[in-house]
Chain A
Amino acid sequence: MKITKEIIENTAHLARLELEPHEVDLYTQRIDSILQYMDSLNKLNTDGIEPTSHAVPVECVLRDDRAKRSFSVDDSLNNAPGRIGSFFQVPPVIEVEE
Chain B
Amino acid sequence: MRTRCIVDYGDYESVMGLEVHAHLLTDSKIFCGCSTAFGAEPNSHTCPTCMGLPGALPVLNKKVVDFAIKVGLALHCGISNKSIFARKNYFYPDLPKGYQISQYEEPICTDGYLNIYTDGEKKRIRVNRVHMEEDAGKLVHENTIENSAYSMVDYNRSSTPLLEIVSEPDIATPEEAVTYLKMLRDILLYLEICDGNMEEGSFRCDANISVRKKGSDVLGTRTEMKNLNSFRHVEKSLDYEIERQITLIKKGGQVIQETRFFNADEGVTYSMRGKEEAHDYRYFPEPDLLPIIVDDKWIEEVRKTLPELPMEKMERFMDEYSLPKYDVEILASDKELAHYFEETIKLFPEPKTVSNWIMTELLRELKDGNVSPKDSLLPPAHLAELLTLMKDGTISIKIAKEIFPEIYKTGIAPKKLVEEKGLLQISDESTIMKTINEVIARSPKELADFRAGKEKLLGFFVGQVMKETKGQANPKLLNELLLKRLKGE
Residues of A at under 8 Å CB distance from B? Answer: 10, 14, 16, 53-54, 56, 58-68, 70-73, 76-77, 82, 84-98
Contact = CB atoms under 8 A, between A and B. Distances in A.
Given A73-B43, A87-B140, 12 more contacts: A10-B280, A14-B280, A54-B287, A61-B59, A70-B46, A84-B150, A87-B43, A87-B154, A88-B93, A89-B150, A90-B153, A96-B272
Contacts of A68: 28, 33-34
Contact of A90 (B28, B93, B226, B292): B93
A92 B291 contact: no
B26 to A, nearest CB: 5
Contacts of A67: 27-28, 33-37
A86 B42 contact: yes
A53 B43 contact: no
Contacts of A88: 43, 93, 152-155
Nearest to A88: B153
B261 interface: yes
Nearest to B64: A65
Nearest to B50: A70
B43 A86 contact: yes
Nearest to A79: B53
B275 A95 contact: yes
B151 A93 contact: yes
Interface in B272-311: 272, 274-275, 278, 280, 282, 285, 287, 289-293
5 contacts: A65-B28, A67-B36, A71-B47, A72-B44, A85-B42
A70 B45 contact: yes
A14 B282 contact: yes
B148 A92 contact: yes
B266 to A, nearest CB: 13
A16 to B, nearest CB: 6
Interface string B152-195: 11110000000000000000000000000000000000000000
B460 interface: no
A70 B289 contact: no
Contacts, number: 138
A62 B84 contact: no
B321 interface: no
Interface string B4-33: 000000000000000000000011100001
B62 interface: yes
Given A84-B152, A89-B152, A91-B151, A65 B59 contact: no
B84 A53 contact: yes
A56 B155 CA distance: 32
Contacts of B412: none
Nearest to B149: A92
Q: DSSP class of B's interface residues: helix, strand, loop or mixed?
A: loop
Contact of A65 (B42, B44, B61, B261): B61
A73 B41 contact: yes
Size category, B interface: 35 or more
B464 interface: no
B139 interface: yes
B227 interface: yes
Contacts of B278: 14
Q: DSSP class of A's interface residues: helix, strand, loop or mixed?
A: loop
Q: Which of A16, A71, A73 is the most central at the interface, judged by chain B CB atoms within 10 Å of its CB?
A: A71
Interface of B: 26-28, 33-37, 41-48, 51, 59-65, 84, 89, 91-93, 139-141, 145, 148-155, 226-227, 261, 270, 272, 274-275, 278, 280, 282, 285, 287, 289-293
Contacts of B261: 96
B150 A90 contact: yes
Contacts of A10: 280
Contacts of A64: 61-63
A77 B292 CA distance: 33
Contacts of A70: 34-35, 44-47
Given A54-B290, A96-B145, A86 B282 contact: no
Nearest to B286: A53
Contacts of A63: 33, 59-62
Given A73-B41, A87-B42, A66 B59 contact: no
B291 to A, nearest CB: 6
| Smallest CB-CB A-B distances: 4 pairs | A68-B33, A87-B152, A65-B63, A53-B285
Contacts of A85: 42, 152
Contacts of A72: 44
A92 B147 CA distance: 9
Nearest to B96: A88
Contacts of B151: 89-93
Contacts of A87: 42-43, 140, 152-154
A64 B46 CA distance: 18
A94 to B, nearest CB: 8
Contacts of B62: 62-65
A66 B27 contact: yes
A93 B141 CA distance: 9
Contacts of A59: 290-293
A60 B61 contact: no
Contacts of B274: 95
Contacts of B60: 60-63
Contacts of B59: 61-63
A25 B89 CA distance: 25
